[in-house]
Amino acid sequence: MSINQQTGAQEWPLWEVFVRSKAGLDHKHCGSLHAPDAPMALQMARDVYTRRQEGVSIWVVPSSAIVASDPGEKSMYFDPMEDKVYRHPTFYDLPKELDHM
Amino acid sequence: MYTQAMSIGPQDEARHLQSAQDQTRNDAFERRIDEGDFIEAKDWMPEHYRKTLVRQISQHAHSEIVGMLPEGNWITRAPTLKRKAILLAKVQDEGGHGLYLYSAAETLGTSRDQMLDALHTGKAKYSSIFNYPTLTWADIGVIGWLVDGAAIMNQVPLCRCSYGPYARAMIRICREESFHQRQGYESLLTMMQGGTDAQKAMVQDAVNRWWWPSLMMFGPADKDSPNSEQSMRWGIKRLSNDELRQKFVDATVPQADILGVTLPDPLLAWNAEREHYDFGPIDWSEFWRVVGGDGPCNRERLAARVKAWDEGAWVRDAALAHARKQATRAEAA
């Protein structure tokens, strides 16, 4: 995603857009766009991603600022959690009388 | 809209895998595809898959952007303020669709400038449908009804495309596209139900002109679309050109009846045995002529895009220069 940040000097930088769809919910990644600076990125994000009131708040982040885990190391990163079933409440058998614990 | 790129223009050949490591990765990739898994931007993928997607997504994006031109032609001449507001919103949507798709293509390692350059130099194609002129106001309604209707047929299956960023862009686009078709149909209905004889004739004339080009939007017949099989396997394509075309005809005939227009095909008839409508042969020589650059508006459309890009250069440069100056000042302060 950040490849073109280095290449085309005349291409506007890329921004990632996050939208909060309504108060109380998380901002969620919804796409990206090119803009020369942060105020323009926000304005364009509004026009591109919230034409039908899809949001009440927008974050824009330069794509180059995002650090991501390596998909090639997905299994090394995430699989170790697979055998840790004791981290889930359903792992524990409790007497029926207890019901809501 | 518009997945014609799958079947027209030069296609990338699948290359033989070089090493044992590539073979292993490729096998894992094929397994993920078979399991219906989504492929994401940074995941390993065969070069052929990447190139096919870049071509498909970028040409889809170009179609959205060029598609703004025939409709933009009528914004200043819309018959009422209401229709003008609707048309503006629709054209703005098409611009948005183009942007979602360019962004999706960029995740595959191509740049916006590279894609636009391919469009402007004529290397990249866009859907043949936009090389036809919008002669009357009724054309705007018919584009919504038939052209966007055909696009929806084409696009809904792509929401399940194996490439995540493309599938997500398609979900967003499909959500917005249904307004496009409904506003077009409603605008035609208004003319057919309350219009003068001249207005009704105008609708019929527009239908006559757009019907066959709309059927061509689905691309060549399956037997002439040799790359479809691979794209189907990868889930880049879910239904064949002919299947989609048939679905479109079946859906559209009853809509034409309700509207009170005829479709310009004497061979169009219900086939009880097949449980589908039969329809007449498509003039593929016209299709290939338009795809090859000799449609009624090919030169005009491309010239309009190039002009907009060239004349907007100073704005893009100024915005960037301003942003750099601000950043330098902020650093110094």
Asked if A33 and B40 come within 8 Å (Cβ–Cβ), the reply is no
| B251/A34 Cα distance (integer angstroms) | 39
Instruction: Decide if A39 touches B, using CB distance below 8 A.
Output: no
B168 contacts on A by Cβ (under 8 Å): 31
Q: Could you tell me where the DSSP H helices lie in chain B?
A: 20-34, 47-66, 68-72, 81-106, 112-120, 137-142, 148-155, 164-194, 197-216, 228-233, 241-259, 284-289, 298-311, 313-332
Chain B contact probe: residue of A2, A3, A44 with most B CBs at under 10 A:
A3
The pLDDT tens digits of the residues spanning A4-48 come to: 444 446 899 999 999 999 999 999 999 999 999 999 999 999 999
Chain A contact probe: residue of B39, B42, B110 with most A CBs at under 10 A:
B42
Asked if A3 and B111 come within 8 Å (Cβ–Cβ), the reply is yes
pLDDT of the residue at A101? 79
| B13/B25 Cα distance (integer angstroms) | 19
| B19/B22 Cα distance (integer angstroms) | 5
Dihedral Cα B152, B158, B164, B165, nearest 10 deg: -40
The neighbour count for residue B254, using CB atoms within 10 Å, is 10
Up-side HSE of residue B37: CA atoms within 13 Å toward CB? 12
Kindly state the DSSP code that residue A62 receives in the 8-state scheme.
Answer: E
Residues of B at the A interface, defined by Cβ within 8 angstroms: 40-44, 89, 92-93, 96, 99-100, 103, 106-107, 109, 111-113, 168-169, 172, 176, 316-317, 319-320, 322-323, 326-327
Rounded mean pLDDT, A80-96:
89
Exposure string (b/e) for B85-113, b if CB count within 10 Å is 16 or more? ebbeebbebbebbbbbbbbbbbbbebbbe
pLDDT of the residue at B98? 97
> Scanning every residue of chain A, which has its alpha carbon at the shortest distance from the alpha carbon of B44?
A72
Chain A contact probe: residue of B54, B58, B111 with most A CBs at under 10 A:
B111
Q: Is the pLDDT of residue A98 over 90?
A: no
CATH 3.40.50.850 fits A3-98, yes or no: no
Q: Do B14 and B49 meet the contact criterion of CB atoms below 8 Å apart?
A: no
Q: What is the DSSP string of B205-226?
A: HHHHHHHHHHHHTT-S-GGG-T
Q: Extract the residue ranges of chain B whose pLDDT is less than 50.
A: 1
Instruction: Decide if A84 touches B, using CB distance below 8 A.
Output: no
> Scanning every residue of chain B, which has its alpha carbon at the shortest distance from the alpha carbon of A36?
B320
Instruction: Decide if A10 touches B, using CB distance below 8 A.
Output: yes
Who among A11, A14, A36 is closest to B323 (CB)? A36
| B43/B34 Cα distance (integer angstroms) | 16
B89 contacts on A by Cβ (under 8 Å): 51
Tokens of residue B306, six digits? 């190039």
pLDDT of the residue at B22? 84
With bands split at pLDDT 50, 70 and 90, how would you rate the model's confidence at A3?
Answer: very low
Chain A contact probe: residue of B43, B320, B325 with most A CBs at under 10 A:
B320
The pLDDT tens digits of the residues spanning A43-68 come to: 999 999 999 999 999 999 999 999 99
Distance from CA of B323 to the nearest CA of A (A): 6
Q: Do A44 and A52 meet the contact criterion of CB atoms below 8 Å apart?
A: no
The three-class DSSP label of residue A60 is: strand
Asked if A12 and B93 come within 8 Å (Cβ–Cβ), the reply is no
The three-class DSSP label of residue B163 is: strand
pLDDT of the residue at A76? 85
pLDDT of the residue at B231? 83
pLDDT of the residue at B225? 83
| B245/B221 Cα distance (integer angstroms) | 9
Instruction: Decide if A36 touches B, using CB distance below 8 A.
Output: yes
What pTM value is reported for the model?
A: 0.90
> Scanning every residue of chain B, which has its alpha carbon at the shortest distance from the alpha carbon of A7?
B111
pLDDT of the residue at B297? 96
Beginning with the edge strand found earlier in the chain, give each strand of the sheet holding A14-20 in spatial order.
A27-34, A14-20, A57-62
This complex has an ipTM of 0.86
Instruction: Decide if A100 touches B, using CB distance below 8 A.
Output: no
Chain A segment 12-31 residues within 8 A of B by beta carbon are 12, 14, 30-31
Sketch the domain layout of chain A as residue ranges.
3-98
Kindly state the DSSP code that residue A23 receives in the 8-state scheme.
Answer: T
A34 contacts on B by Cβ (under 8 Å): 112
Who among A11, A37, A72 is closest to B113 (CB)? A11
Long-range contacts, B39-46 (Cβ 8 Å, 24+): B39/B162, B39/B163, B39/B164, B40/A71, B40/B164, B40/B165, B41/A1, B41/B107, B41/B108, B41/B164, B41/B165, B42/A68, B42/A70, B42/A71, B43/A71, B44/A71, B44/A72, B46/B14
Residue written as tokens 């330069």? A62
| A27/A19 Cα distance (integer angstroms) | 5
Q: Do B4 and B220 meet the contact criterion of CB atoms below 8 Å apart?
A: no
Asked if A33 and B99 come within 8 Å (Cβ–Cβ), the reply is yes
